[in-house]
Amino acid sequence: MLKLLIVCALAAISAADIPEEEDVLVLKKSNFEEALKTYPNILVEFYAPWCGHCKALAPEYAKAAGMLKAESTDIRLAKVDATEESELAQEFGVRGYPTIKFFKGGEKENPKEYSAGRQADDIVNWLKKRTGPAATTLSDVTQAESLIADNEVAVIGFFKDVESEDAKVFIKTAEAVDDIPFGIVSNDAVFSKFEVAKDGVVLFKKFDEGRNTFDGEISKENLLNFIKANQLPLVIEFTEQTAPKIFGGEIKSHILMFVPKTATDFQEKMDQFKKASEGFKGKILFIFIDSDVDDNQRILEFFGLKKEECPAIRLITLEEEMTKYKPENSEITAENIITFCTDFTEGKLKPHLMSQDIPEDWDKNPVKVLVGKNFEEVAFDPAKNVFVEFYAPWCGHCKQLAPIWDQLGEKFKDKANIVVAKMDSTVNEIEAVKVHSFPTLKFFPAGDDRKVIDYNGERTLDGFTKFLESGGKEGGAPAGDEDEESDLDLDDAGEEDSDVDDGHDEL
């Protein structure tokens, strides 16, 4: 007994040495290992003070820390200023902000990456699933009601025999879902309270229908599909907080309605959108984006939209290759949206490729200006060797490259068979080339075989010159063998301007 008291006292002294801000431990290299020893379960956010996503997360992160501390759990939340503690950031592979990692049992090796939602409940639920039983045993009605009341979404397995095969499958399913709390119950009073007549699974939620009852054959795959189809609202608003749920979910086909919340017919549009969504649960995620919000302007740009063009509908698939679709009928009615989505699911739609109009002076300067409408004609001219920079106006790396690219154009302007060109890929898209990072440099050699070569050499005038003079051999690679260290993924953030697709700023 005395030994236990001494250990507890030492732990308390150690804990007192670690400063806190709003119940969040403040860690540095000097106290990091001590924190891991003191707290068996610790979630650590690596952040940058200037990062917009980190600032947005801060109040919810602090709220989660307070909730866990108030419950006297052995779980704590901590943060590390990665701009000050660069050694720690490097040690744990921090490449973007915020990066959140879970350390269990005092071990530094292989911490678990946190990838659930950015709201306090999401954080708490994820941690409890990681540190406790996959499904909480609910002994009575009060416990069941508390689980439902305390969470946006909760799943309860009703099994008279919690050792049955179906109950074991339910537990296995619970282990596979990080961000939703599960409960399991065998109590007759709970069955009666929730009007459950036989063994089964019910998903409770604070939106739409309020609850969904699983009515298929119980298997892990079937239960996961059931949860996937019902865990999100029929229509979800895109925000900083919901972004991880939207982009981290299983549904990779998204239909987006861009509409200002201040519009007089906003609710009418929402009603039509929601009505259309009912037939596509689990297949297409219905998302609305407030087109008046400044943080959403980059998303509008990505789809080639301006605020004055909203309301508008677009559809995108987030598979390996992102593909966009635009409805032929722009009027927002449930009927039109259902037709659009049905055509998509049946593979009847053609991708929508954005293009600016061809500038009158596109070939006036040494560096030619390409857009979607003239790309094919220029890049695949069988008599020309064409070197193209695919850029984004806001990309810092592209801005650094611009004067060198102009010098390259000047150097080869009198070579009749060589064309140096550029294309703004934020407003122009082509089927032949998928751009995943900026800048992307591709070479289209003369000939009829439509060959494409990626440039992976040094971004210097000398490097580009050798590449062109060697016919794309020195510094080139067949298209598809792209440099793994892309400067800027389209679904990540860059420099001062940060995309909010996944709530993550790159270093």
8 noted as active-site residue = no
Largest CA distance in the chain: 90
**Residue 341 annotated among the catalytic residues of the structure:** no
Number of helices followed by number of strands (H, E) in the chain: 16, 24
How many CB atoms sit inside 10 A of residue 10's CB? 11
Yes or no: say if 224 and 176 are a contact pair by the CB < 8 Å rule.
yes
If 0-12 CB within 10 Å is exposed, 13-18 middle and 19+ buried, where does residue 104 land? middle
Q: Report the C-alpha gap between 493 and 489 in whole angstroms.
A: 8
HSE-up of residue 438 (Cα within 13 Å, Cβ side): 24
Residues 164 and 179: their CA atoms lie apart, in Å, by 25
- What is the spatial distance between Cα 359 and Cα 283, in angstroms, rounded to a whole number? 40
- Between the alpha carbon of residue 51 and those of residues 26, 299, 385, the distances in Å are 17, 19, 42
Q: What is the DSSP string of 37-93?
A: HH-SEEEEEEE-TT-HHHHHHHHHHHHHHHHHHHTT-SEEEEEEETTT-HHHHHHTT
C-alpha separations of 448 from 6, 372, 381, 468 in Å: 81, 20, 8, 19
Taking the alpha carbons at both ends of the chain, their separation in whole angstroms is 50
Q: Which pair of structure tokens corresponds to residue 122?
A: 């999401």
Q: Please return the burial class of 327, using the count of CB atoms within 10 Å of its CB with bins 0-12, 13-18 and 19+.
A: buried
- Between CA 48 and CA 37 the distance in angstroms is 25
CB 369 within 8 A of CB 375: no
Query: Which of the 8 DSSP states describes residue 350?
Result: P
Helix axes 120-131 and 52-70, enclosed angle (nearest 10):
60
Taking the C-alpha atoms of residue 487 and residue 245, their distance in angstroms, rounded to an integer, is 25
- Positions of E strands within 92-226: 96-97, 99-104, 112-113, 135-137, 153-158, 182-185, 200-205, 211-213
d(CA 37, CA 58) in angstroms, rounded, equals 25
Q: Both tokens of residue 33? A: 């290992």
To the query of whether residue 310 is one of the catalytic residues in this protein, the response is: no
Query: What are the Cα distances from residue 169, in Å, to 153, 217, 244, 258?
Result: 20, 11, 27, 41
- Known catalytic residues are 51, 54, 395, 398
